Each structure stands twice: as C-alpha cells, then as structure tokens.
Amino acid sequence: MRERLKWLWCVLLAGCSGAERPVDTVRANVPVVAAANSAPLPKRRVTIVFVGTSLTAGYGLEPDEAFPILIGRMLDSLGVPNEVRNAGVNGETSAGALRRIDWPLSAQDTDILVLETGANDGLRGLDLDSTRANIDSVLTRIRTLRPGARVVLAQMEAPPNMGVKYTSRFRAMFPDLARKHGAGLAPFLLDSVAGSLDLNQGDGIHPNAEGEKIVARNMWRALAADIAAVRKEKGL
C-alpha cells in the first residue's frame, strides 16, 4: 500500500512539476524566512536551514503552516531558542540547488542544514549521473562553507514508470551520498501523507495543513539527535 501511495504522488507531481520558479510570496514562504516569532533572536540558539523544493517551501499554504516553521514551533514548545530559515524554491532541480546553495549558507551561524532535492529530477527522468553529481557537489559546497554544520539529506523517490533500474538507482543514490559526506538521512519526506486525499491539497500533490503536521513529525524524528547534540554543545 505504501508503494502505491508513493506511486500516486509521483504520477500526479510528474504532470505538474513545472519549471523552477521563485516561491509565491503570498501563498507560500519566501525563500528565506525566520520562523516562530518576531522577538529579537537570542545570541545562543539552534539555527536550522532548510533547502529544498516546493515541498519545503510550503506551496499553497500560509507561511506559518510549512513544515520548517512547524519545526521551529516544536522547538519553541520545548523552550529552545531557535531560528529556522526556509529556503524552498518551487520546481527546483538539483542543478538549481547547486546554482544557489551559497545564498542559503550566507549566514554564519548554521547549526543544521536539511537538503531536500532531486525529486523533480526523478519526475522528469533526468540523467541520474548528472543528478548524483549535482547533489554530491551541493553537499561538498555545504561542507566547504559550513564545515561545522550538521547536514541531513532527505530521501526522495522517483516514479515507477521510469523503470526498475532507474528507480532503484535513484533510491540508492541518497544513502550513498549521505554516507560519503557524513550526513544524516531523513526518510521519504511524504511518508504516511502521499496519496491521502485527506492530507493533501486539491492538486493531490502538496500536503495540506494537516498533512504538513505529519511531514513535520517525520522530519522532527530525523533531526532529533542533531538538535539534542547542538543543544548540549550550546548549553541550551
């Protein structure tokens, strides 16, 4: 059943992926935003940067409903000072992520960086060697610019109509690259959400507000150990 849900999501998104374009600043997050509240940021805080596609940007949602912002609220609920930056761009491929990665890393205090990329490559059936090289280069650039940051790579899936060989290589690419760069690996971002009419917007592609809460919990589990380590290091 889970594979069928993934398949449904991939088929729907394949028809609507579109070209890379800036995030809609009215209906989704601007590419980089501070989360949680408007109070002055404390000097000691956990800073998390999310780099990704429309799934990270929160396409079709209010700005404060996107899962990165919900992660910030979870930290708030624990009394942890934090800054969450959402650098999602609708329709972006791994090549686009590589072209702009320096910008989300311009802040000096990135503790954790979450990279969600490659899904649009798979949906378009782009050459996997090129996709792998792009993600490899993005991770290398992150390590060069922010060697102290903890990095988490999100697992994504390619649609099965690309064939078993393609989808298998696509799936294996993410754990391979995570191991190579010493990054954490988050499970499939839309686990327990993809394919559910109740948890997605009318396009059947992007999570609605309720689905986004599940996505946030999925990501929280992947980030928990790194967040705890940063808190310990900073005495938070």
pLDDT digits (tens, 9 = 90+) for 60-118: 999 899 999 999 999 999 999 999 999 999 999 999 999 999 999 987 789 999 999 99
The pTM (predicted TM-score) of the whole model is 0.84
pLDDT digits (tens, 9 = 90+) for 153-190: 999 998 888 999 999 999 999 999 999 999 999 999 99
Mean pLDDT value across the chain: 85
The three-point CA angle 21-62-48 to 5° equals 75
Buried b (16+ CB within 10 A) or exposed e, 185-198: ebebbbbbbbbbee
CA distances from 49 to 66, 155, 186, 187 (A): 13, 17, 15, 18
Sheet holding 82-88, edge to edge: 82-88, 46-52, 112-115, 150-154, 184-186
What pLDDT band is residue 15 in, cutting at 50, 70 and 90? very low
Length of the chain: 236
On the question of pLDDT at 24 being above 50, the answer is: no
Report the distance separating Cα 164 and Cα 159, nearest Å. Answer: 10
Candidates 5, 9, 56; CA nearest to 35 is 56
**Residue type, position 133, single letter:** A
| Alpha helix stretches (DSSP H) within the chain | 2-14, 54-57, 67-77, 94-100, 119-123, 128-145, 164-181, 209-234
- Domains belonging to the chain, first-starting first, are 2-234 (3.40.50.1110)
On the question of pLDDT at 210 being above 60, the answer is: yes
- Residue 84: which residues within 8 A CB-CB, separation 6 or more? 34, 35, 36, 47, 48, 49, 50, 68, 69, 71, 72, 75
